[in-house]
Amino acid sequence: MKQYEYGLVAVLPPILILTLCYIVTLVKVRDLFHIARWIAKNVFSDTLKEKKKKEDEHPRWLFNDIDLTCEARTLSRILATSLMLFAGMLAGTFVLFWQLLLLEMSSDCDVADPSKDCFEVKFWGWPKQDPVDCNSPAIQNGAKHVYCYKIVFNFGVATGASYGVFKLSTLAFSLGSSALLTINNEKSKILLAFRVTVVLLGVLVMVIPSVLMATPFGVALLSTNLAAMLQTLIVAFNLAFFLWGIPWNKLIALKVTKKNSKDIGLENPVAAIDDEEARVPGNVSTLESEVKASLGRFQKAKAALTCVVTNEEHSNEI
């Protein structure tokens, strides 16, 4: 077999399966928003939560304890991004699964194993597609480095590794969200610095395999193939969706507003009224307390009405 054919063995099956699943899902469900809600509740449940109340028809959506019930636009964008992230994570997991399931890669050019095809490592230029002869002097004395493919069937290894990678991806989403929400200013340069740092780290991760391929250790660890290239692209797209798809500035602003509201409530002097003084009829403090309580109920009702109107307008736009 040629080198690109081994790459197709790991790439084509997940692409075909995911495409088929996507078509079947659209035919059966026909509602991407419903799919996005299910994914958010079941895959990213550590970050996105849906709480329902019996007396309330509309569920409450929370993003790390940030209430998005009245933020229909923000919620829609987050759900859409979570759907794209899930698709990317699933694609990367499937590629890894099929690669480990059907291919075994090594740097040992074994003459006694005819089922193995070995290819010369080229740091620059297009790699050769035809297998090399392991009996050649250049390979035997180590002047040329090779990496080898062998068709196998490792279901246990493929299942365990791909499941572990998927769980690590969801954990990274949760930890990354918590880290970004520690920023206390939506206009802070820390958010931009965080995005730039993650992008630079992503570029570094993509460059490292190419550098390692020039060393014998790198040959034993990594190989340039279609599956590795596809996984690199998937990771890059997932990082982009996570950093720019989710409206972090809006979420940080909502978190700051919630924190300020709590601080104002704790510092409210009405809460410190003495119980005995509050029981006295006609007391000015009692009257002030009742007025502020009524005002608070009015503000809550106004906020609820505004929430309903905003969500209805967003639904009509959709």
Q: What is the pLDDT along the chain (318 residues), one digit of tens a residue?
A: 887 788 788 788 888 988 898 888 878 777 788 888 888 888 888 888 888 765 556 678 888 888 888 888 888 899 988 988 898 888 888 888 888 888 887 777 777 777 888 887 766 556 677 788 888 887 777 777 787 888 888 888 888 888 888 888 888 888 888 888 887 765 666 666 767 776 666 666 655 555 555 455 454 445 445 566 666 677 777 887 888 888 888 888 888 887 777 655 544 434 443 444 444 444 555 655 655 555 555 555 555 555 544 555 444 444
Indicate whether 99 belongs to any domain: yes
Indicate whether 78 belongs to any domain: yes
Indicate whether 88 belongs to any domain: yes
pLDDT confidence of residue 291: 53
Indicate whether 41 belongs to any domain: yes
Q: Coil, strand or helix: which one is 15? A: helix
pLDDT confidence of residue 318: 44
pTM of the model: 0.69
Angle at 234 between CA 233 and CA 235, to 5 degrees: 90
Indicate whether 139 belongs to any domain: yes
Task: Please name the residue ranges forming H helices in the chain.
Answer: 3-28, 32-42, 72-102, 137-140, 155-180, 189-212, 216-221, 226-240, 248-266, 275-279, 284-317
* 168 in Cβ contact with 91 (< 8 Å): no
* Host domain of residue 91: 3-256+291-307
Indicate whether 279 belongs to any domain: no
Indicate whether 79 belongs to any domain: yes
The total number of structural domains in the chain stands at 1
R_g of the chain, CA atoms, integer Å? 28
Indicate whether 265 belongs to any domain: no
Interatomic CA distance for residues 78 and 92, integer angstroms: 21
Which residues, 6+ apart, have CB-to-CB distance to 114 below 8 Å?
A: none
